[in-house]
Structure 1
């Protein structure tokens, strides 16, 4: 009898210790999370929290997860919200998720408050690609693939849009944004825009324009609704919190990019000490540190950190779409 009680007690302890790993079967999927996960959490935006999309195998794959920014190796907290792309700033978040079984693909764009409760929703054609929130938290923006599944694809098409929370103004696509290139109005039938990043004033923003095999960094004015090309070979820009630098994808070969940083005042380009190939929009952790997802040799995706002059560090395994909750970065 004592042996039976001991076995039961040991089983209870084992079960309690594995509570973060084992959960019920959902939709016939796996019952085990591959990493420690604290499920059923009520998540909220906080400057000290790092949010990301959980890519670890298991029933919580694809859900929004969070860890303390100062302790990225901590057990990830997971709620019920599923996002393909996520971003947050100043009490506002955006969640992009592909609508199941939609043909052609359709994306749900959710605007969320500080408690990650939905306050606005749009259904838009395309597949989630990029998402950002202006540093003042009043404008969310997104990029969707309409055809193709990567920037390396031939003939891809994107739709980049904006939603202003204060004016409740929706711009489904900014393809009509007037642009100057070399001082002259630019017209072309193949123009694509992607990867918006806003300045702290919520008015000035940067984005990539692609046309005729070239990419341009566009500096634009939201109120005046116009822009001008200020650099070339810049994709997926990300403006630093102090608005001095643009981190971006720098093309090094067809379908291959590495991380680069442009000083807006001097136009000097530098490369942080990580020459691995990157295919995403980087995020500024502070004025000297960048976050970005990279594909590992085993096919998984992990979140890394690199300083402008300091070597890269692995932050979170099996994760993507990093965002500092309520931060000033865009």
Structure 2
């Protein structure tokens, strides 16, 4: 990635810490309790507790149960979880069963950034930041991959996928994967030549098809009709926006703070996202997906939300 993204990250920290335009006070929950028996099958909100850096689950009443599993980024669906860990030499993807047992691990070269699991629990994706690409002047770029947990098929670098049947440009970067219900189609961001766009991917065909400009970190709605994403603004930062896939019409959401996150749909009406508030801390907020309403605090001192059904 580039210095614009790093600057926007700093801006997001400042905006999150002062909570511009909102009078909602952050209610700090009681510390998460390490509790045996946490599963990914029970209803609740999976999240990363930013005070401990560990996986936790928050129930509908706001009570949080913590685990001993440390993650930099996480997600889960249908009893399959993914935890991205940071290490001294390299990062690691850990595939989790519903009882949080480790099913498989994959070494990753980079800093954990995004993680997703398809609605069926079959497909897992990840994105890491990397440095040192000769075509990128040594600045940040990304590596994204997809694992089919049923067959074991691994696509370790989506930059190797073709774009409408043609080889991608040498400077191509792909990040922020989200899966369709058929476990073959997916959406992601493609960047090349300083131009960023939403692409629809075909995992079996190893191909990407551009759909719309200026769409970053897409998240497909449960009904498969809309994409929530962060839209880059001319003056810097991002605006959380929803795209209707039928006509590509955009709806800016009521969250006006800069959101540098891959939003998660809680249901077909609501999206959740993380906002930094100080240092390495963050909070999870939620906002209606139709542009109405106001943001509400969903989980203090947390990020990386994923609904468990």
Same fold, TM-score > 0.5, yes or no? yes
- Checking the alignment, whether the CA contact within 8 Å between 1:178 and 1:225 is kept in structure 2 is yes
Paired residue for 1:87, among 75, 80, 83? 75
Q: Which residue of 1 aligns with 2:305?
A: 322
Give the Cα separation in 2 of the matches to 1:255 and 1:235. Answer: 14
- Checking the alignment, whether the CA contact within 8 Å between 1:42 and 1:79 is kept in structure 2 is no
How much does 1:310 deviate? 2.0
- Checking the alignment, whether the CA contact within 8 Å between 1:95 and 1:109 is kept in structure 2 is yes
Give the Cα separation in 1 of the matches to 2:168 and 2:122. Answer: 30
- Checking the alignment, whether the CA contact within 8 Å between 2:86 and 2:92 is kept in structure 1 is yes
- Give the TM-score normalised by structure 1: 0.79
- Give the TM-score normalised by structure 2: 0.84
How much does 1:253 deviate? 3.4
The unaligned stretches of length 5 or more in structure 1 are: 1-32
Q: Does residue 42 of structure 1 match 2:25?
A: no
Give the Cα separation in 2 of the matches to 1:49 and 1:34. Answer: 16
Following superposition of structure 1 onto structure 2, how do residues 169-318 of structure 1 map, counting pairs within 5 Å? Answer: 169-180=153-164, 185=166, 187-253=168-234, 255-296=236-277, 300-308=281-289, 309-318=292-301
How much does 1:154 deviate? 8.3
Deviates further, 223-232 or 296-305: 296-305
Q: Does residue 112 of structure 1 match 2:93?
A: no
Give the alignment's Cα RMSD to 1 decimal: 2.0
The unaligned stretches of length 5 or more in structure 2 are: 1-27
Deviates further, 316-325 or 299-308: 299-308
Q: Which residue of 1 aligns with 2:53?
A: 62
SS in 1 for 2:159: coil
- Checking the alignment, whether the CA contact within 8 Å between 1:220 and 1:226 is kept in structure 2 is yes
**Residue-pair matches, total:** 276
SS in 2 for 1:296: strand
SS in 2 for 1:175: helix
How much does 1:46 deviate? 2.6
Larger radius of gyration: 1
- Checking the alignment, whether the CA contact within 8 Å between 2:159 and 2:168 is kept in structure 1 is no
